[in-house]
Chains A and B, each alone.
Chain A
Amino acid sequence: MTSLMTSPSGAPVGGVPLLEVDDLYVEFRTDYGVVHAVNGISYTLSAGETLAILGESGCGKSVSAQAIMGILDSPPGFVTGGEIRYKGSNLLTMSAKEQRDLRGEEISIVFQDALSSLNPVFSVGAQIGEMFRRHRGASRADAKKAAIELMERVRIPSAKERVNDYPHQFSGGMRQRVMIAMAIALDPAILIADEPTTALDVTVQAQIMDLLAELQKETGMGLILITHDLGVVGEIADRVAVMYAGRIVETGATDAVFSAPAMPYTEGLMASIARVDQKGQRLNPIVGAPPNLANLPSGCPFHPRCPRATDYCPTALPPLLEVVPGRYSACHYAEEVLRDH
């Protein structure tokens, strides 16, 4: 590893969370009305930890990540409330330059679609090397050398020969490795992976997940994994935050949540998936479809689809409260739900 790759900030301070998202609100002001994409979510991430943000399309999981990275399309997207603190300082009040310096250096992101996230007219080596040229002022030759090392680190075979190849010359899995190489180039403290394996085949998905876990072990970075795949969450996340209609509706240690969910939505998701390890009975899906974020149901946004809903649910929004130590649920009947498992 060259000296270019070591982070100037050093190891994070023990005990203090690396990242704190505190009551974050994001909305999109469109011609058709205001879409409330993120409605007051809070979570923390420590060094070396993997937090999965799980949810269906349109639940606001990617938007919250874009807000952290400061890459929200604005307009129409606006952060309308809350704080995002990195090692105690609020990203949202920083100047554009301060934010830019942090991005890539301290927090970086891997997107779902590697083909459209890479520039087709630059070689992958140039794109990985750009991180060093932009942030470290490295020379072209040094940047290329560092790019080759990174490509080896993400296990791209014959990196030296392939450094001048273009994105289209790589397979889907290899392109995702290139994206990961760019993301970890400057040894960030936090890596956000937004559906990193959704477009990939299952055997390649396993390779990429393995790579992320290994890199995390090496560097001790905090990993935020955004996904809709419950299996992937189960395999690699320490903690999971389940999102629905722009809110976190349940959070806790992954195995605890999946062995005894405390929110009917999590219950419903688990009953919806076919299992590879046993021939299941009839699936028990959640009725209806996710709500329109421009026109959310009153009270608990899940109540129109919830088998446990009572007359009370449409009248009051349930806050995310601790049910048992370390487990939070946004359901008026969380204790009952938990007891049923």
Chain B
Amino acid sequence: MTTETLTATSGSGTSSEPLLRVEGLVKHFPLTQGIVFKKTVGQVRAVDGVSFSLDKGETLGLVGESGCGKSTVSKLIMHLEKPTAGKIFYKGTDVTELSGKELRKLRRNIQIIFQDPYSSLNPRMTVGDIVGEPWEIHPDVVPSKDRQRRVRELLERVGLNPDFVNRYPHQFSGGQRQRIGIARALALQPEIIVCDEPVSALDVSVQAQVINLLEELKHEFGLAYIFIAHDLSVVRHISDRVAVMYLGAIVEIGTEEDIYENSAHPYTQALLSAVPVLDPVARAQKTRIMLTGDVPSPANPPSGCRFRTRCWKAQDICATDPPELVDRGQGHPAACHFAEAVKIVGGDTHVPEPTTEISAPVAGPDGSTHPSGS
């Protein structure tokens, strides 16, 4: 699909054009030295060429470890950061360069829920004021005489007692605060909600309540979510499609089933393998892959494939040619020269690869060995 055909469908959201599409999104943060005369000494490549699309009513999970750039992607989509390069299309219209009135109009349709329910609510505002504040900027959404009633409806919808409108955030528990954040995001009747680690600060039993609420709201209002999390189990539960990020780039993207049942990229496989499994039977069937070392610094990513320094499959080509994110016969795109679909968890149909094969020490591209744990 070319850019010309996209602009032709602008605003109308025809069936062929996704609700949101990002193309080659790049965000580099300068590394500076000095206090008065700042001089740029390098770039942190937080996001380095990320492309994906989101359909109406769909949930796209964005998963990866800390520092992989998933939260920066959310900030770029929210226009809280300006991309270094790349484009964001909303219903076919390029919205990357929007400002002023146009940007405000767009923001109405894309809302965000933050990770920390403690710091994302103003402690000096009542819950009613917090949930109703978006209407100060977008007064046409709800006429002022209806606002009190709407706030109560919203609170009730997210499972809070509407009589709590005059309470302050500190009077609520973490789970309740997250519900307040959700009510605020719903206030403008958006089409897309970016959920940036919405449940990771919550207790297990409360997490499940919030996840269920998000799912109900999605069906009720036809919302599309970009669900950012590091918890692979939660992402699997809620997502229709999943993108796995590593060091600022998507290494694998596909349906929930593609990623969890037929993961093709070694990093995805290692991530899945590292998730502790409760069920003893499923645990026994799990393929064990132990990665060595830490994620390299995004200020100085490895050449070629970014994962090669921790990868047991790495060959010479990995140090020279960055693998493209394309389908190499696994049914979905993966950025690995040696992509191979493997079922890592819950393997009742597929016999897992022998552990010894996967964890055998291999010579890295730089000649050093990367012994994987057994």
Contact = CB atoms under 8 A, between A and B. Distances in A.
B159 to A, nearest CB: 10
B65 A202 contact: yes
B294 A279 contact: no
Nearest to B215: A282
Interface string B33-76: 00000000000000000000000000000000110000000000
A228 B294 contact: no
Given A202-B230, A231-B276, A273-B278, A278 B346 contact: yes
A228 B174 CA distance: 16
A288 B311 CA distance: 44
Given A210-B290, A234-B283, A276-B260, A205 B274 contact: yes
Given A235-B276, A277-B282, A277-B345, A289 B206 contact: yes
Interface stretch (A73-81, A178-186, A264-272): A264-272
A231 B294 contact: no
A275 B236 CA distance: 8
Interface centre among A57, A270, A289 (most CB of B within 10 A): A289
Given A203-B65, A279-B257, A280-B237, A269 B274 contact: no
B203 interface: yes
A136 B207 CA distance: 47
A174 B274 contact: no
Nearest to B199: A274
A62 to B, nearest CB: 14
Contacts of A270: 278
Contacts of A272: 204-205, 207-208
Interface residues of B, number: 49
B291 A283 contact: no
Interface in B154-201: 173, 175-176
A235 B345 CA distance: 14
Contacts of B237: 274-275, 279-280, 283
B274 A202 contact: yes
A257 to B, nearest CB: 11
A120 B28 CA distance: 29
Interface of B, helix, strand, loop or mixed by DSSP: helix
Nearest to B208: A285
A283 B211 contact: yes
B300 to A, nearest CB: 14
Contacts of B283: 234-235
Contacts of B231: 274
B277 A273 contact: no
Most buried by A among B260, B280, B286: B280
A278 to B, nearest CB: 5
B66 A285 contact: no
B275 interface: yes
B146 interface: no
A286 B202 CA distance: 13
Given A235-B276, A279-B236, A201 B230 contact: yes
Contacts of B278: 230-231, 233-234, 258, 270, 273, 275
Contacts of B139: none
Contacts of B276: 205-206, 209, 229, 231-232, 234-235
A235 B128 CA distance: 44
A119 interface: no
Contacts of A289: 173, 175-176, 203, 206
Residue from A230, A258, A276 having most chain B Cβ neighbours under 10 A? A276
Interface string A241-257: 00000000000000100
Given A279-B237, A280-B237, A202 B204 contact: no
Given A276-B345, A282-B212, A283-B237, A203 B274 contact: yes
Contacts of B274: 202-203, 205-206
A200 B79 CA distance: 29
B279 interface: yes
Contacts of B260: 276, 279
A219 interface: no
B331 interface: no
Contacts of A269: 204-205
Nearest to B291: A203
Contact of A259 (B211, B232, B280): B280
Given A201-B295, A274-B233, A285-B205, 11 more contacts: A203-B274, A231-B278, A232-B276, A234-B280, A258-B278, A272-B205, A273-B278, A275-B279, A277-B282, A277-B346, A286-B205
Interface of B: 65-66, 173, 175-176, 203-209, 211-212, 215, 230-234, 236-238, 256-257, 260, 270-280, 282-283, 286, 290-295, 345-346, 373
Interface of A: 56-57, 157, 171-174, 201-207, 209-210, 228-235, 255, 258-259, 268-280, 282-287, 289-290
